[in-house]
Structure 1
Amino acid sequence: MYNLNLQKLENQIRLWLEEDIGTGDITTMTTVPLDQESKGILHVKEGGIVAGIPVAAAVFRVVDPELEFRPMVADGDRVEKGTVLAEVHGNTRSILLGERLALNLMQRLSGIATRTRQYVDALEGLPARLVDTRKTTPGHRMLEKYAVRVGGGHNHRFGLYDAVMIKDNHIKGAGGIPQAVAAARSQIPHTMKIEVEVENFNQLQQALEAGADIIMLDNMKPADMKEAVRFMKEKSPHILIEASGSVTLETIKSIAETGVDVISVGRLTYSVHALDISLDLNERKDQHL
């Protein structure tokens, strides 16, 4: 539903498992019988929005294709403390090998989805679109942006390669907004848009005159932002307007009420509170044999 690239994910999982397991899980290998089988129960210790069920399934699948992963909820579900998220059945050693990686990923992704849903709820009834930024954990961008979608948000550009975003340092390097826009326009495909970050009305007018497709209002006060939106809609009705900079749950509604089309929030993916999720072994199958 949320378009996760499973082949790329499994390649990353192999690297993460190698980092964690190294030459072998010495504790499990010396304490747990080789042929023992168990049921692992993944449950959440606090309420929130679940994200990462297919990610956890992929972890256990890479560890041991014989493990059986049974989801009890779906990504995007709101759950309460104590909810069982999934069960994994099979070799005990294999379950323990994948446990920490599966939990680490699910906890962070669920934390991102939970925070994103809070921002989405704060925008209820307003047309502005909530998007993330590139402020992601290196190596985890695909998953963290996936979690934003699970939480009800949308993705901004994925990297430096898929959109032109002219910010303050680009403007300084190019010698000004008109020069930066003209240089980019002369070299990019006709299908690619140009976004310019502005901090004041002088820069705003320059960006409009230069032919920017998207204008980002950076760290503007809501009153100034509202006037900027009114001005742009009169001059260029089809231009897309983004707001960014220190957006919080307390300020996002007033920002949306200025009439901007998009609000980008870095807080969706950095310094989030990871949801507390555990895995407990229960009812070893060999107890009933």
Structure 2
Amino acid sequence: MRLQAFSWPTDGDVAPRLSSPVRSTDLRGRQPRYNPLVRLSLPGLALLLPPATLAALADSWLREDCPGPNHAALVTGAAPSQAVLWAKSPGVLAGRPFFDAIFAQVNCQVSWFLPEGTKLVPVARVAEVRGPAHCLLLGERVALNTLARCSGVASAAAAAVEAARAAGWTGHVAGTRKTTPGFRLAEKYGLLVGGAAAHRYDLGGLVMVKDNHVVAAGGVEKAVRGARQVADFALKVEVECGSLQEAVEAAEAGADLVLLDNFKPEELHPTAAALKARFPGVGVEASGGITLDNLPQFCGPHIDVISLGMLTQAAPALDFSLKLFAEGTSPVYRAYRS
């Protein structure tokens, strides 16, 4: 999987368009009021994360790593210490709020040298952490794991968005609900930092009628009508479909979006075109079997969203390390054997 070849505009800028971009419309068939080509303000993304939730997650992760006595603390003691965070692999820096929350739980302070969303070129000095030695080392591995995972997702998301924009497509590249238990907030946040859409956060964010729901309900129409009753005006209804017939049935029953799952590109585009011809206000999402390499094949004028489970399931973690240094000296990165 290639994650190195990506770039994007600065906050508020619009990504360059090709001469004949493949444009998508909003879910009512109009040009979207929000533009997928305009990146969200990266500093503002941290405001999405409730402080109480961040603290609870950090506490849970730390308790998992150290539920009982920390014997190594007797070795290090509580002397004031400092360490530098080094980035050792290329990618997108993401997860600063989680890193901060973890070290806040163990009474350490973090000073950042690079902003969220930075394209990292190794070896890069990213941050400095200060606090009692035993506390700093207690938070080290948990903080590194979280930052590495979140940054890996952001890097994969950035590469996917870059591939879509290079194909001239202006729709939404999105993640899925295929996330790591206990890490969903960090992974969804990483998607946003990378420039992708997070998709629904949980089961309450969108009524998605999957194939198993259809079977359990006794058909597409029954499933959609049942979903519409509980969704009322507040939620959209999306239906997974395996054929044009199912997609038409879902649209006729009141679906807002249709998920064309596991379609080959040569099947996807004529199906989406036929559906849009009859129901221009219904959104079309493509998913299933999509990778960074074949993503451009799924980009088309009748596709509004392309979702990739691999952005969270298969994104490799970035490599970070935290190295202590003596007060009054200049920290220098040294490669140690792992």
TM-score, with normalisation over the residues of structure 2?
Answer: 0.80
Match of 2:7 in 1: none
Contact 1:39-1:285 within 8 A present in 2 as well: no
Moved more, 161-170 or 41-50: 161-170
Look up the match of 1:265: 308
Query: Is 1:200 the equivalent of 2:243?
Result: yes
Q: Is the 8 A contact 1:222 1:258 kept in 2?
A: no
Q: Equivalent residue of 1:274, what SS?
A: coil
Q: Residues 120-131 of structure 1 correspond to what in structure 2 (within 5 A)?
A: 120-124=161-165, 125-131=168-174
Q: Show structure 2 runs of 5+ residues with no match.
A: 1-43, 330-338
Q: Distance in 1 between matches of 2:92 and 2:72?
A: 33
Alignment partners' CA distance in 1, 2:258 and 2:64: 42
Deviation at 1:285, TM superposition (A): 5.8
How far off its partner does 1:154 sit?
0.7
> For the Cα contact (< 8 Å) 1:128–1:259, is it kept in 2?
no
CA contact (8 A) 2:129 2:136 kept: yes
Do structure 1's residue 5 and structure 2's residue 69 form an aligned pair? no
What letter matches 2:262 in structure 1?
Answer: N
Q: Which residue of 2 aligns with 1:284?
A: 327
Question: In the alignment, what sits opposite 1:136?
Answer: 179
SS at match of 2:285: strand
Q: How far 1:4 moved relative to its partner?
A: 2.0
Structure 1: tracts of 5 or more residues without a match: none
Answering whether residue 77 of structure 2 is matched by residue 33 of structure 1, we say: yes
Separation (CA, whole Å) in 1 of partners of 2:89 and 2:280? 45
Task: Give the SS at the match of 1:187.
Answer: helix
The percent identity for this pair of structures is 36
2:150 match: 109
**Quick one: which amino acid aligns to residue 101 of structure 2?**
A
Question: What secondary structure, in the 3-state scheme, does the structure 1 residue paired with 2:313 have?
Answer: coil
- What is the identity, as a one-letter code, of the residue corresponding to 2:272? V
- CA offsets per residue over residues 87-132 of structure 1, 9 Å max, x none? 0123212111111111010011111111111101101131120111
Find the partner of 1:19 among 64, 67, 79.
64
What is aligned with 1:69? 110
Paired with 1:88 and 1:252, the residues of 2 have a C-alpha distance of 39
Question: Larger % of helix: which?
Answer: 1
What SS does structure 2 have at the residue aligned with 1:41? strand
Any idea what SS the aligned residue of 2:72 has?
Answer: helix
Cα displacement (A) at 1:248: 0.6
- Kept after mapping to 1: 8 A contact 2:231/2:237: no
Cα contact 1:40–1:87 (8 A) shared by 2: yes
For residue 71 of structure 1, what is the amino acid of its counterpart? W
Counterpart CA distance in 2 for 1:229 and 1:172 is 23
Correspondence for 1:88: 129
Instruction: Please give the alpha-carbon distance, in whole angstroms, between the structure 2 residues aligned to 1:68 and 1:158.
Output: 30
1:232 equivalent among 275, 279, 283:
275
| Aligned partner letter, 2:63 | E
Between Structure 1 and Structure 2, how many residues are aligned?
A: 282
Which residue of 1 is the match for residue 229 of structure 2?
186
What is the identity, as a one-letter code, of the residue corresponding to 2:60?
A: L
* Distance apart, 1:5 and its partner CA: 2.1
2:59 alignment partner AA:
R
* Stretch of structure 1 that moved more, 250-259 or 85-94: 250-259
Aligned-pair CA distance for 1:212? 1.2
SS at match of 1:133: coil
Instruction: Kindly indicate whether the alpha-carbon contact (under 8 Å) linking 1:229 and 1:258 is maintained by their aligned counterparts in 2.
Output: no
Question: Aligned partners of 2:146 and 2:289: how far apart in 1?
Answer: 26
Distance 1:281 1:224 in 2: 56
Is the CA contact 1:225–1:258 (under 8 Å) kept in the aligned structure 2? no
Q: Is the 8 A contact 1:38 1:285 kept in 2?
A: no
Residue among 215, 221, 227 paired with 2:264: 221
Distance 2:265 2:321 in 1: 42
> Equivalent of 1:55, from 92, 98, 120?
98
RMSD: 1.5
Tell me, yes or no, if the aligned pair for 2:228 and 2:254 is still in contact at 8 Å.
Answer: no
Shift of 1:150: 0.6
